[in-house]
Structure 1
Amino acid sequence: MAEKTVYILSDGTGQSAINIVKACLIQFEDPEIKLSVYSKVDNEDKIVNILEKAGRNRAFVAFTIAKKSLRRLVHEVCHKREIIHHDILGPPVEKLSAFLDSEPIENPNLLRKVDSKYFKRIEAIEFSINHDDGKNLKNLEEADIIILGLSRTSKTPTSFFLAQQGYKVVNIPVIPEVGIPEEVYKADQNKIVCLMMEPDILQKIRIERLKHYRTMSKYTNINNILEEVEFMYALKDKHREWHIVDTTNKSVEETAREVLMKIYGREIQL
């Protein structure tokens, strides 16, 4: 298949459109695709010049543009030049406008606005990095979420994903021979989530982790893993305020949503 080109137009950075296009391309087997990204496209002349080039290259055009008049221009030029195109931002904004009975601001810079939420996310990320993998047990009372989990149950990826949403997260590895640090029992017990995984899947992940070392150990032994899982369930039975989230075959995003549902009764806040 000859290489095809996707033009991405945005009056901002274009990152949202890039993420969506890449997510769509994953559904196709090894597509020969080149992405041409045009950011800060905020006037009619720029749009027309870029679309003329896209027409000559028989490209697909995806765009995220806040101003309705500029979105309309993209549609008009693309229809005229028979360019396959997709408006990523326009349709949902217009439907939300009707639902909210309110006109959109049409400011492309709002997504990157530096405000209190931005600084809250930065603070949460720094906190979560400093409290990753049980390396720091100070200030647990400041944590929004405390994650306990066996090795390779997605503790760190889940913690960092939640941190990017503004949640301060502590994650602590559970080792039956070592037990749970005393500091955990002094924290708000409703904030504690135990990440679990089906033993056979956990074993496969651990074996994959160690395959380069060409060694088998207690770490990958199924009987040992079963004992670890039983230890976790025994802990949960003993501490009824704790929550359990099964991470088996779940994405980090799915796990994070479930963690928030367990603790706060809601999904990730915007």
Structure 2
Amino acid sequence: MEPGMTALRETGRLLAELTGTAAVVVAPRAEAMTVQHLRFIRTRPGEVLAVLVMADGTVQNRFLPATVTEDELQRIHNLLDDVSEGRTLGDLREFFARRIHSERVQADDLRRTAFQMGGAALIGAGPAPVDVVVEGRVKLFEQRDFVSPEGMRQLMGVLEDVDLLVRLLDATSDARKTAVFLGRETSELGGGGELAMIGASYRRFGHSQGAIGIIGPTRMDYPKVVPLVTATASAMSELYDRDRRSAAALTEDDED
């Protein structure tokens, strides 16, 4: 199971403690989250309830028109299990769109119905507002750089500006290494140029899932904190990438 918000908060809290700064964690967007399974429940004639369960425990439901028997539903579930396990929501959405018109699917009524229902169930699933975790605010307020009322006011504004934090950390999504933002690069942070940000993305299958970073004074101990941010992002990538082999093998089988 992928890390949920509790695990992300604990990770942020640990990084804040280790670095003596505020830690920011941008959670994976819905499209990047892994699907655990997709189920359909008959509610009344001509209607089913689609239940989409993500690997972090998130559940999304929606009603769909469908006329199927219980036996057909079981076979549909078996088909969907074969193609959905280990895929992200975005990957699975693309898979259904790509395969629904293939000759093999068009020639198989049950497979066509399964993929049509699967594709319909994913319509409107995500995107959701981006979740951002900020831990260690007190660590920043303890810094002598921000003891003035004006400094504290600016600092509070930065830590509460979710869009700003996401925008800055999103700049690490295409990078393969930890980024350090100083001077003009952090002008949006305010603080009279006294704030710096260090960030890195965490990945799954080589694709960015989210980002983690710290905000602190420009006089941070960079030789100490940069490796800590790098190691934390790497550890998170390992968690998200744990089922790489099984999912990759599954993808190859599906494309045959």
Q: If the length of structure 2 is used for normalisation, what is the TM-score?
A: 0.22
Pick the structure with more strand per residue. 2
Greater radius of gyration (CA): 1
Q: If the length of structure 1 is used for normalisation, what is the TM-score?
A: 0.21
